[in-house]
């Protein structure tokens, strides 16, 4: 079964659309736990730039990922429209809450499988394996990222980084 067949089990899927650097992205709505306003971030020394901070989400400390970096887009300061999309993502057999930075969150909408295509092999400025599919809606192209591939590739610590245990003093 292909990724699209899994995503579009019934021929359509509800997604949350959001903006990253002027591009429209979408993630499956069932993954979304909540969309929250900007929250205070705590930097994590030695963590990969892609997930270099954590936030307090309803009493739980969760990693904060920046999909802009996975797609080689410029990092950007937050604005009044910036949001954090908290998702439940399956990693290594365990469901993990992760915050995703978004420049703006639009809406929940339905994507039809018939309006999607695989990412082209050439001409795409992003890693092809990071894109599950491209969807056409009116005159827009919506990028559906492959979160599993992104987190597997980008969630690795930087070479030479060491983890220092927290002091108990």
Complete domains list, the chain, with CATH: 3-154 (2.40.50.180)
Angle, alpha carbons 150-128-160 (nearest 5°): 45
Cα–Cα distances (Å) from 125 to 44, 57, 73, 109, in that order, read: 29, 33, 10, 25
pLDDT classification of 155: cutoffs 50, 70, 90: low
Residue 162 DSSP SS3? coil
pLDDT of residue 36: 96
- Give the residue among 150, 120, 145, 149 at the shortest CA–CA distance from 131: 145
pLDDT of residue 163: 37
Listed in sequence order, the residues at least 6 apart from 105 whose beta carbon sits closer than 8 Å to its beta carbon are: 16, 17, 18, 19, 35, 83, 85
Cα–Cα distances (Å) from 133 to 10, 27, 114, 121, in that order, read: 16, 11, 11, 12
Mean pLDDT across the stretch 142-152? Answer: 92
Cβ atoms 19, 106 nearer than 8 A:
yes
What is this structure's pTM?
A: 0.83
Mean pLDDT across the stretch 104-118? Answer: 93
Produce one character per residue of 125-150: b if its CB has 16 or more CB atoms within 10 Å, e if not: eebeebbbbbbeeeeeebbbbbbebb
pLDDT of residue 47: 87
Question: Using the 8-state DSSP alphabet, how is residue 45 labeled?
Answer: T
Termini Cα distance of the chain: 52
Tens of pLDDT, residue by residue over 80-100, are 899 999 999 988 888 999 999
pLDDT of residue 126: 75
């Amino acid at each position: 079964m292909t990724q699209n067949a899994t995503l579009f089990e019934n021929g359509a899927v509800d997604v949350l659309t959001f903006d990253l650097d002027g591009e429209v992205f979408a993630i499956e709505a069932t993954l979304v736990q909540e969309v929250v306003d900007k929250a205070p971030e705590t930097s994590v020394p030695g963590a990969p730039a892609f997930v270099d901070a954590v936030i307090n989400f309803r009493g739980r400390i969760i990693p904060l990922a920046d999909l802009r970096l996975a797609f080689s887009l410029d990092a950007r300061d937050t604005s009044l429209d910036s949001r954090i999309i908290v998702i439940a993502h399956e990693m290594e057999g365990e469901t993990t809450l992760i915050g995703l930075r978004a420049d703006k969150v639009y809406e929940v909408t339905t994507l039809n499988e018939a309006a999607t295509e695989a990412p082209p092999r050439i001409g795409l400025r992003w890693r092809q394996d990071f894109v599950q599919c491209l969807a056409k809606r009116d005159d827009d192209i919506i990028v559906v990222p492959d979160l599993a591939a992104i987190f597997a590739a980008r969630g690795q610590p930087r070479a030479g980084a060491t983890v220092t245990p927290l002091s108990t003093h």
